Structure 1
Amino acid sequence: MQKILFDLGDITKLDCDAIVNAANKTLLGGGGVDGAIHRVAGRELLAECRTLGGCNTGEAKITKGYKLKAKYVIHTVGPIYSGKDSDATDLANCYKNSLDLAKKYDIHSIAFPAISTGVYHYPLEEATRIALTTIDNWLKANADYDIEVIFSCFDKRTYSVYIDIAKKLNITFI
């Protein structure tokens, strides 16, 4: 069964197979959700990330979750918003490549933050539409794969935007 859920809270506290880290290209920690994930996971996460050689925008790499409840962390690098068409493509690739990696590692529950909407300044409504559309399309293309996708929203505004846009797009969620 496939499900889409929305959670208002801290992604590092979610009990799921994998959480997605909105990382920078070095994968060595940073601010926002990236810093929070590294703090909770512990030093071992940073040590493993050092072996990965960074990550390009739109791509995704996987590590263990260490001290997190999640078994895995999927690191993806969102675009720094510039208003170019390539921003939307890169952001969509973050979601698609993270889900492809989840399927490869037999992950059946995954939580995403609002990638690129913090210090990378992607407009929340536009980023949400891309995230929901990309995930909905991936789920339809992989209809035989059971997965629960959680959108972890760090504040009430983000949560409301995700709910509103999901309704406008006629995306079924719990």
Structure 2
Amino acid sequence: MALDPKKWTTKTQEAVAEAGDLARSLANPQLTADHLLFAIASQEGTVAAALLSKLGQAPGMVVNRANEAISKLPQAQGGDEPRMDRELSNVFDNADSYRKDLRDDYLSVEHLLLAMNQRVGVGSEEMLQALKDVRGNHRITDQDPEAKFAALEKYGHDLTAQAAAGKID
């Protein structure tokens, strides 16, 4: 299931495509977790961007760290399409485990971030708690959960934060 694009969110599909394009453009023979992290951290308006910010990890800094790791990867001119390396395959397997634990129907970029928590520089429990804070009790039940997240951000009110700030009786 982890490698079935039909069960990925739109943003996951876009990130994987962008990661592949990046590896191809840099003549990297393997598609790595760093390519995917670069692509995810580059996306705007996603739960992943909000999650990184909540963790104090500016998406731009994550992009820079991933780019630095990518610059050290081997290059091969005239080769085949980049192939997913074993580590990235493990990332997808671990992300799918997170998807199941969170009872989500689709594999999303935040599941992939959870599976790459060490690359981000954050503990898995800390990242999981931050995701629960950002996402609340919402589950991913379709391929475009970011549209719902954007609507919540725009029209929703964080009553807990308002109460903590003394703005609610």
TM-score under structure 2 length normalisation: 0.28
Q: Which of structures 1 and 2 has the larger relative contact order (alpha carbons within 8 angstroms, sep 6+)? A: 1
Higher strand share: 1
Asked which structure has the greater CA Rg, the reply is: 2
Higher helix share: 2
TM-score under structure 1 length normalisation: 0.28
